Structures are given as structure tokens and as C-alpha cells.
Amino acid sequence: MNIMMLLEMAASGCPERIAFVDPEMDASISYQELFDSAGNIASILRATDAARFAMLDVSNIGIPIGLFASSWAGIPYVPLNYRLTDPEIESLLDRVTPAYLVTEPERVAGFHDRKGVQVSSRTDFSALARESGEIPDAWSMDPEDTAVLLFTSGTTGAPKAAVLRQKHLVSYILGSVEFMGADEEEAALVCVPPYHIAGIAAVLSSVYSGRRVVQLANFSAEKWVRLARDEKITTAFVVPTMLARIVEELAGATNADMPHLQSLSYGGGKMPLSVIQRAMELFPGTDFTNAYGLTETSSTITVLGPDEHRLAAASEEEKVQHRLVSVGVPLPGIELEIRDDEGSVQPIGERGEIYVRGEQVSGEYEGRGSVVDSDGWFPTRDAGFVDGEGFLFIDGRADDVIVRGGENMSPGEIEDVLLEHPAVSDAAVVGIPSEEWGEAVVAALVISDAVTTEELQAWVKEHMRSSRVPERLEFWDELPYNETGKLLRRVVKERLA
């Protein structure tokens, strides 16, 4: 197995079709050109002593070339987060040397003398890719070869490098995408950063389905709306913060006026109910899909599909409406279990840690080995529960549980109650060390109207057991999130402690 095989099939199925477009650079590449470019770069990589291919750049045509060329050459592709500080980037780079690095022209000089790094600018790289070189020998079909090393976003501690082998990525694509399933006019707008698993998945899925990808390097809602209209985009993926900004950008409109947008999927963090409801009003003809997945699972593992979105939105029943904040049901190749701290499988409706199993699941980190158990189950560290119809709901991280006086409580439940108060626009609840209780419940809130601590405590007490009432509330201008919309609970905890 090799992801190059997916590109080979696409290039033979629709060689002339445009694969990637970078409107800002006014560049595009067809499937055949992408295949040939990957071969040219693979030849160059094989002639160096590079053991890794590192990419430190925003979305551009070089990204898919680098991804496929690495697999052709048989070395892991390592996309780096360009938003990190220079010392952070250098320390990650040092972990993957000897490496062939491609980066923005402005950054090249900074890496010329770095040990174990051969650096090339984006401009030189794309020129090399277009030269007609010799087609290199075939790629390896060993399913165990590492295709991608992806540094996880690290909401806690130093970034870990997740190992995604050829078998994981190929299994994910074969299990979730129909070959050449896209019509000629279909176009995907990709605005997630290329160092995120959703960025890797977007490249592979689009290639296998024969869909044209329009790249948006630096997301802004204004640019997204303009590009979506100009390029007659038919499908797109966004993280919740992006959708919230798009909805804001369209404030005042009754309709987004994008009849061409057939599907809009989202994931990467918790989607606020108000945002998805407003988005469904603005895009009435669009199919919405919530995709939940992790780096370690090669992207999506559960899906809440368009029909479930429409049913939930149209329902009068609160239970069915609430399904809009579910992440749906597992993909056909994925098994899922909810387990408690002792490892026992939890009954329907009970919160616990989410475990998954399937061919796309890696669960392995470089230098640390695999966290998958002997039966193939991967502990996601996410907490959640499954309802009577099999829908999965995410409820924070498994280790977010607050233990107050021996009683376990989920911060998510308390946050949901606080968010229902009309004056509260955002909420984070954490446990901080307490001599009396072990942990005390405290909250950081963003409010949109005047409200007192006492009023909010009374509000929680009205809806929940009194042990859940935060003993302290702080009002902040905003809560800390990472760039994909995950609440940085650790930061909240530190500030409140």
C-alpha cells in the first residue's frame, strides 16, 4: 500500500483535470502534472541523505507535491506549524534530521547553516518539480512504511509526533471515499492548515475522488466567502471558529447566496449549537456533516450526516434537536466503545473515555511506541457517551473530570448550563486544588450582559445539584483557544489557580 497509488489511479483516470489551484499565486496543477512532479522530486530526494521531508509553509501547490513525493521516495513527510516561534520550529526540526526542508523564501536563509538540514525555497522547489527528469523506480508497497509524521497540537506538554503509516492513510481513503466520485465541476475549498490532519486528509480525499482543490492559505471569513463564490465551490471543510466567523461575516443576510455549495463539513472542536443553527439557515440547500476524528486516527472516525442535521433542525423534540451537537455514528470501518476508569464498557448514556479500533487507527508516537492495546483499541483521551440511537456525544477530555469531595463531575455539563444563561456567551469550568474538597469547581466566563456571580450561582443551583455550583467565577474578555478551536483548559486552570 502507498498513497502514491491513489495519485497514480487519479492521474490515469483523469490526467487533464485540474487537481490543485492556488488563486493567490495564480498557480494550478493537473493530476498528470502532479504525478510527474512527485516523480521528479522523489528522484531528487532519493539522491540526498534525507531521512525525512519537512514542509514549513502555508497551503500552496508544493504541499501535495511534497506529500506524494515523500511517499514515492519512501521517507516520511513532516509538515511543521509555521505559527510556532523560531525556537519551537528549530526544536521540532532537530527531531527529524537529516531532513530535506521546503519553506517560504523569506525563511530560507535562517536554515542554511543548520546541521542535518538541506533547505529549498518554495520557488526553487516548484521549479525543480516541473523539470522533466527521469521517472524514478517504483514506490514501496510495504503497508508498514511511515507516510506522515504529524506533530500533535499539544494542548498539554511538548508536541508528540504521531506516526501515520501507509496502511492507515490508504485504509482511511479506501474506506471513506469513492474513487473518481466527483464530477468535473466539483471544487473543494481547503482552508485548514497543511500541518493539521484535516489538511492531509483533504489532499488525499480530493485526489482519490478526482475533485479540484482550491487552496486558501490564510483564512479570513471575507476571503472564504469571496473565494467560495468566485470559484463556485461545491464542498468545503471548516473548524468551528471558522464557521462562527463566516456566519458573522454574513450577518444581516437571510441567505448566503451560494447555491453551488453542496456540502459543508466541520470538525476539530466543539461546535456551538447557535452557530450551526444559524449556518443551516444561511445555507438552506447545503448538506452539513460533522466529522469527528483525531490525528492518531488518520482523521475522521465518526460522522453526523446531512439527513441527521435536517431531522434535528426540523424536530420539535428536544432530544432530537440536541443531536445537532452530536458527532454522529462511527464510519463503517470503525468500532467504538465507552469505558470507565477501570476499563469496563459503559452502558448507554454513561460518560466515559472513548476507545476506537479500525485499520485507519494508528495510536503510535515516534520514540514512545504505541498506546493501542493488544486487541487493537486506542484510547482517545476524549470523553463522551453514546445515546440510545447510537449517536456519540463528546464531553471534554477524559482527564478533565473534576473530582470534588470524592464526587466525579464533568465540566462540560456545568458549562452547558452556564451557556444557557442569556448573559453568558462563553464558559470554561475547571477543577483547581482545594484543601477542603480536593478539587474546587471554578469558572471563567465571557459575558455579553451585566450579571453578578450570585445570579449565576443561583442559576446553576436551579438546574443542577448544588455540588456543581462554581464557588468562584471570573469574567474574562475571551477564553483561550488553540487555532482549531479547542479550548485550552490547561491555560484556564493555570490562570484560575
Span from 48-56, 66-74, 141-149, 436-444 in contact with another protein (CB under 8 A): 141-149
| Cβ distance to another protein smaller for residue 109 or 141 | 141
Question: According to the binding rule CB under 8 A, does residue 32 interact with another protein?
Answer: no
Q: Which long-range contacts (CB under 8 A, 24 or more apart) does 31-37 make?
A: 31/7, 31/207, 31/210, 33/130, 34/7, 34/64, 34/65, 34/68, 34/207, 35/7, 35/8, 35/11, 35/68, 36/132, 37/65, 37/69, 37/129, 37/130
Q: Which CB atom, from 172 or from 437, has the smaller least distance to another protein?
A: 172
Span near another protein by CB under 8 A; candidates 25-33, 66-74, 201-209, 468-476: 201-209
Q: Which of 274, 277, 282, 281 is nearest to 221 (CA)?
A: 282
**Using the rule CB under 8 A, is 141 a contact of another protein?**
yes
Q: Within 13 A of 345's CA, how many CA atoms are on the CB side?
A: 8
Choices 62-70, 91-99, 113-121, 138-146 (CB under 8 A): range interacting with another protein? 138-146
323, 341, 439, 350: CA torsion to nearest 10: 30
| Distance in angstroms (rounded) separating the CA atoms of residues 421 and 446 | 12
Q: Look at strands 52-56 and 77-79 and give their pairing.
A: parallel
Among 90, 104, 249, 287, binds another protein (CB under 8 A): 287
189 vs 221, which CB is nearer to another protein? 189
Q: Does 142 bind another protein (CB under 8 A)?
A: yes
Question: Angle of helix 3-13 relative to helix 62-73, nearest 10 degrees?
Answer: 120
We find the least distance from the C-beta atom of residue 209 to another protein, in angstroms, to be 8
Residue 20 Cβ, how far from another protein at the closest point, in Å? 15
Q: Does 280 bind another protein (CB under 8 A)?
A: no
Region at 343 (left for phi over 0; alpha for psi -120 to 50; beta for the rest): left
Task: Give the range of 74-82, 85-93, 199-207, 381-389 binding another protein by CB under 8 A.
Answer: 199-207
Q: Which stretch binds another protein (CB under 8 A): 84-92, 167-175, 252-260, 362-370?
A: 167-175
Give the residue, chosen from 44, 45, 119, 198, that forms a contact with another protein under the rule CB under 8 A: 198
Residue number, 179 or 365, with CB nearest to another protein: 179
Under the binding rule (CB under 8 A), the answer on residue 348 touching another protein is no
Please tell me whether residue 231 binds another protein under the rule CB under 8 A: no
205 binds another protein (CB under 8 A): yes
Stretch that binds another protein, among 82-90, 215-223, 295-303, 389-397 (CB under 8 A): 295-303
* 176 is a site residue for another protein (CB under 8 A): yes
- Quick one: 23 or 143, whose CB is closer to another protein? 143
Q: Which stretch binds another protein (CB under 8 A): 16-24, 48-56, 286-294, 452-460?
A: 286-294
**Site for another protein (CB under 8 A): which residue of 261, 329, 331, 430?**
331
Contact flag: residue 296 with another protein (CB under 8 A)? no
The residue ranges that bind another protein (CB under 8 A) are: 1, 5, 8-9, 12-13, 141-143, 166-167, 170, 174, 176-181, 198, 201-202, 205, 235, 237, 263, 265, 267, 287, 289, 291, 299-300, 303, 305-306, 331-332
